[in-house]
Structure 1
Amino acid sequence: MTTPETLQDTEFDNEVYHEPHPVLLFLAAAARLIISVAITLLGLVTLTFFISRLLPLDPVIAMLGDNISQEAYDTMYRKLGLDQPLIVQYGLYIKNAVMFDFGNALTSGRPVLEDIGRVFPATIELATVAIIIGTGFGIPLGVFSAMYRNSPLDHLVRMLSLLGYSTPNFWLGLMALLVFYAGLGWIGGPGRIDFVHEFSVEPTTGFLLLDSAMQGQWEAFGNAFSHIIMPALILAFGSMAYISRMTRGFMIEQLNQEYIITARVKGLSWSRTVWGHAFRNVAVQVVTVVALSYAFLLEGAVLTETVFAWPGFGRYLTNALMAGDMNAVVGCTLIVGILFVVINLISDLLYRVFDPRTR
């Protein structure tokens, strides 16, 4: 018999266990994501501000030089806002950072963001070629290493991974230039392209290989490819080591699951079991590893770009550090931080799209 008390309890239970509307769930997740990203970027901006203030570099001296009058020094000191209290400087810094205004670079006299936009396509092009090579070799090597665990192939892949982790990129770059450029002449030298082809390609996208191919400048395309292939291979070697090692670990964990034994008992071939079942279950994790590896390539190619005189983001940051150009250094640091946040965000979204268990 239903009583008012039991009816009230039933209504209360329905209210307790009533699921929120999917739109509300989406809005709540989006709000948490926006707040998390905002706090991360605010922490990064705050960290770069105080680091720039703690470094023993005088921005006025770095901008005007040592041989200036006290009057000129005081004028520039006030113009840069260094006479204001630290909290006021921090507020102005946050305001400018939100507007992506990092000031002018001391080395070029142009806005830092404009300089970064000019050099970043070269780094994107180099990192993209490297990640394609690293992924194309790293994933199959990791899968085959897990398939034939403790075999000679597995030991070879693990040795290559160890070498990729431990060998310095600058040493590989110097050896590559010495052997393949100076000795054998198989590759192009430092830079993105030879001077004779430099003005034959109209810069449209900033990606030299793409621009030369779109314009039908195949001789320039071949020359640009001969310049990019060796630094890309060196960067790809490190990415391949990381991707293959992580893929191997993911696959070994999956190959020890019971559903693999069930598939084999049902007569499914070993290769179909591995690629059709086990690899599908780790594909999302591998995508995350590749995304993070790509982010590291975009910001970690400093030494490789320096050795090969590659006019990209890493070399620009190195020159700014050598010149004490803190506007450029801070701007580059913030761009790298934003880049990592965005790539982590994209990989997290891909994880949720391809793996329903994480939604």
Structure 2
Amino acid sequence: MLNLVSKRLMVALGTILGASLFSFVLLRKLPGDPARLVGGELADATTIDNLRSAMGLNKPLPAQFWDYLSTVGHGNLGFSYSTGQNVADVVRTRLPATVELGLTGVTFAVVSAVVFGAVAVYRRKRGADVLLRVASSLAMGSPPFWLALVAILLLAVKLGVFPGPEGRLSPGIQPPAAFTGLYTIDALKAGQFSTFLNALWHLVLPGAAIAVGPFAFLSRLFRSQLRTTVREPFVLVARSRGITRSKVFVRHVIPNSLLPLVAATAMLFAELMTGSVLIEKVFGWPGVGSLTVDAILQKDFAVVQGVILLSAVLYVTVSFLADITYAAIDPRVRVGAR
């Protein structure tokens, strides 16, 4: 087990370092001068040179990367010239919005995948199974941002059922006192039920849009696992003891089919946290995704690098924990790692 942990840690560190290096080089190869964007079009050459020196852009690329690693090693993600704040502070203020949206999307995806997959396998009718496969295929082939735009036009603009792209709360409603940064939880903690409902209502459309892709993957995975589990000998033994088919399905088949779903959900949550850029921009969601887009447009390297680094750390951490959990449950994984 210790050998497996050490190998996974080495891979994790290599992945984080590789992601940092890739983003560092790629950002500096993009057209445009960050110093010019900070100084403005009217700044003279001397001002621009001073800015480039202050930002460390006049050094060779390897020296810049070493300075960046040294800064990160001291727990500092850098300084954002576009906002005038430390990158860690900027990301900290935006992260709760992305976390809340990601949790909503994962919840929608998992619940719908479990319900539709269970119904399709339990009913054992070709129509239900075909409907699930068609729905998952359409979901897999539909860009989330396009679905988001259609949902806004139909459900927000035409019907007025849901709020449009106005952020996390309706105009005029004050955010609850910050505790977790998640408006739904903070509103419940403060006893502001109307604010909770408003925040929840603003989560429905972006959460559903971001859940479309994960639903397609999870529903197919869960359906396949259910179809395998119902053929296991323990299901036949349970039925032979007189237990009804519905009880066997709920108490034995579904729980034994959830383990792959749990591991996949953990990875999808990390992916949603780092891949909600377009959804956040479409809905005007003040999260890390929209922050990243604005930082790219403004050539704010420090913010983009900080977000990519945190995304890599999150993704690697979730993957590492999933590997260790599987190794603890299945001895074959530990044997294969030797």
Superposition map of 1:277-356 within 5 A? 277-356=252-331
1:124-145 Cα deviation digits (max 9, x unpaired): 1111122112211212322333
Aligned to 1:18: none
Task: Note the residue ranges of structure 2 that are not aligned, 5 or more in a row.
Answer: none
Task: Write the distance in 2 (CA, Å) between the matches of 1:268 and 1:216.
Answer: 45
1:47-97 Cα deviation digits (max 9, x unpaired): 122212322232212221232222222222222223333332221121123
Partner of 1:290, secondary structure, is helix
* CA shift in 2, pair 1:59/1:180, >3 Å: same
Match of residue 38, structure 1, among 9, 13, 21: 13
Aligned to 1:195: 171
Asked whether the 8 Å contact 1:62–1:325 carries over to 2, the reply is no
Q: Which has the higher contact order (CA 8 A, sep 6+)?
A: 2
Superposition map of 1:1-359 within 5 A? 25-26=1-2, 28-148=3-123, 151-189=126-164, 190-198=166-174, 201-257=176-232, 260=235, 264=239, 269-359=244-334
1:177-213 Cα deviation digits (max 9, x unpaired): 22222233222232111232125x2222211111111
**One-letter amino acid of the structure 2 residue matched with residue 74 of structure 1:** D
Task: Note the residue ranges of structure 1 that are not aligned, 5 or more in a row.
Answer: 1-24
Partner of 2:222, secondary structure, is helix
Task: Write the distance in 2 (CA, Å) between the matches of 1:357 and 1:147.
Answer: 31
**One-letter amino acid of the structure 2 residue matched with residue 302 of structure 1:** V
Aligned to 1:21: none
**TM-score, L = length of structure 2:** 0.89
Task: Write the distance in 2 (CA, Å) between the matches of 1:160 and 1:147.
Answer: 18
**One-letter amino acid of the structure 2 residue matched with residue 127 of structure 1:** G
**One-letter amino acid of the structure 1 residue matched with residue 93 of structure 2:** R
1:107-158 Cα deviation digits (max 9, x unpaired): 2111122111101101111111221122112123223334455611111111
How many residues of Structure 1 are paired with residues of Structure 2 in the alignment?
Answer: 333
**TM-score, L = length of structure 1:** 0.84
CA offset at residue 261 of structure 1?
A: 5.0
Task: Write the distance in 2 (CA, Å) between the matches of 1:82 and 1:232.
Answer: 40
The CA RMSD measured in Å over matched residues stands at 2.3
| Fraction of identical pairs, as percent | 28
* CA shift in 2, pair 1:331/1:224, >3 Å: same
